[in-house]
């Protein structure tokens, strides 16, 4: 089916004009044993977001989910989410957008001061045992064609940033970058650092154990954010919602 798009990708691409959710379809394929398959759609009727939110997915977006079966322990699974963010940011940069990454995996375009507009969101699902991942499914939603008037507050699109979008080239580059990163997992965190908007910023991260406030000073494998609190103590955060604060 990748032929339909003229893609020369290291994955089999299943392309749909419209789907309920590429993650839902990707999950079904993963449970059937699929590997290296990409589910792509131009529109989703019930897109899934992080933290049980819904994800608005009108026509003109690039919605895709990648089914991979890496031979790694579960603790490395977050690297695939970071890799998806790096691959998406690089592909958006090739289109001309000033894409950066907000921890852990939002692709954003920075504005004045500490603000930014969101270009892509990523929701990764996974299954496996502690010592071995069975499958990982990063699902990436990118606003591509929409004008800012049609997007929610705080969102932007490739077209809004650059005036044009080449969907085929965007998907192709994203998949090539993702493929190279998953083949060299040691390169993921350094690549992420180079695109990070969050590092050096004052942040508040909401975690299940309470809020952590301080300066984001580093990201460590497999995606842990290191925050230096005002009392000087360094706190490591593995998951949570991150807000950039004014200094």
The span from the CA of 71 to the CA of 53, in Å, is 30
Residue closer to ligand BTN, measured from CB, 139 or 223: 139
Helix (H) or strand (E) holding 159: helix 158-162
Binding site for ligand BTN (CB under 6 A): 21-23, 44, 47-50, 53, 55, 57, 63-65, 121-123, 139-141
Q: How far is the CB of 144 from ligand BTN (least distance, A)?
A: 12
Q: How far is the CB of 23 from ligand BTN (least distance, A)?
A: 4
Residue closer to ligand BTN, measured from CB, 50 or 93: 50
Answer yes or no: are the C-beta atoms of 30 and 39 closer than 8 Å: no
Q: How far is the CB of 62 from ligand BTN (least distance, A)?
A: 9
Q: How far is the CB of 134 from ligand BTN (least distance, A)?
A: 19
171-197 burial code (b ≥16 CB/10 A, e <16): bbbbbbbbbbbbeebeebbebbeebbb
> Which residues are bridge partners to 25 per DSSP?
none
Helix (H) or strand (E) holding 213: strand 210-220
Q: How far is the CB of 131 from ligand BTN (least distance, A)?
A: 28
The span from the CA of 151 to the CA of 56, in Å, is 9
Residue closer to ligand BTN, measured from CB, 43 or 98: 43
Answer yes or no: are the C-beta atoms of 203 and 214 closer than 8 Å: yes
Start-to-end CA span in the chain (Å): 49
The span from the CA of 102 to the CA of 192, in Å, is 10
Return the DSSP state at 151: S
Residue closer to ligand BTN, measured from CB, 139 or 222: 139
Record the tokens describing residue 84, joined without a space: 């998806």
Record the tokens describing residue 142, joined without a space: 């990118």
Q: How far is the CB of 241 from ligand BTN (least distance, A)?
A: 10
Residue closer to ligand BTN, measured from CB, 7 or 38: 38
Q: Work out the angle at residue 192's Cα, subtended by the Cα atoms of residues 55 and 34, and round it to the nearest 5 degrees.
A: 55
Closest residue to ligand BTN: CB criterion: 121
- Of 200, 182, 198, give the one whose Cα is nearest residue 240: 198
Residue closer to ligand BTN, measured from CB, 60 or 73: 60
Q: How far is the CB of 147 from ligand BTN (least distance, A)?
A: 19
Residue closer to ligand BTN, measured from CB, 65 or 172: 65
């Amino acid at each position: 089916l990748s032929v339909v798009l003229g893609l020369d990708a290291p994955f089999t691409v299943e392309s749909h004009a419209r789907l309920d959710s590429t993650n839902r379809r990707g999950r079904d394929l993963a449970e059937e044993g699929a590997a290296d398959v990409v589910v792509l759609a131009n529109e989703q009727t019930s897109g899934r977001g992080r933290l049980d939110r819904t994800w608005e997915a009108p026509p003109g977006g690039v919605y895709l989910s990648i089914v991979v079966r890496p031979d790694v322990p579960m603790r490395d699974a977050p690297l695939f989410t970071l890799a998806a963010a790096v691959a998406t940011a690089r592909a958006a940069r090739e289109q001309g957008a000033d894409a950066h990454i907000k921890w852990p995996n939002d692709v954003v375009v920075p504005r004045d001061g500490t603000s930014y507009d969101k270009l892509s969101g990523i929701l990764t699902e996974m299954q496996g045992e502690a010592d071995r991942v069975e499958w990982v499914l990063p699902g990436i939603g990118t606003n591509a064609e929409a004008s800012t008037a049609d997007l929610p507050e705080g969102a932007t699109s490739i077209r809004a940033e650059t005036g044009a979008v080449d969907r085929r080239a965007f998907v192709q580059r994203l998949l090539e970058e993702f493929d190279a990163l998953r083949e060299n997992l040691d390169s993921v965190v350094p690549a992420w650092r180079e695109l990070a908007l969050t590092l050096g910023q004052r942040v508040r991260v909401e975690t299940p154990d309470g809020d952590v406030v301080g300066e984001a000073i580093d990201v460590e494998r497999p995606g842990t954010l290191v925050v230096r609190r005002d009392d000087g103590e360094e706190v490591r955060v593995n998951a949570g919602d991150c807000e950039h604060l004014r200094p």
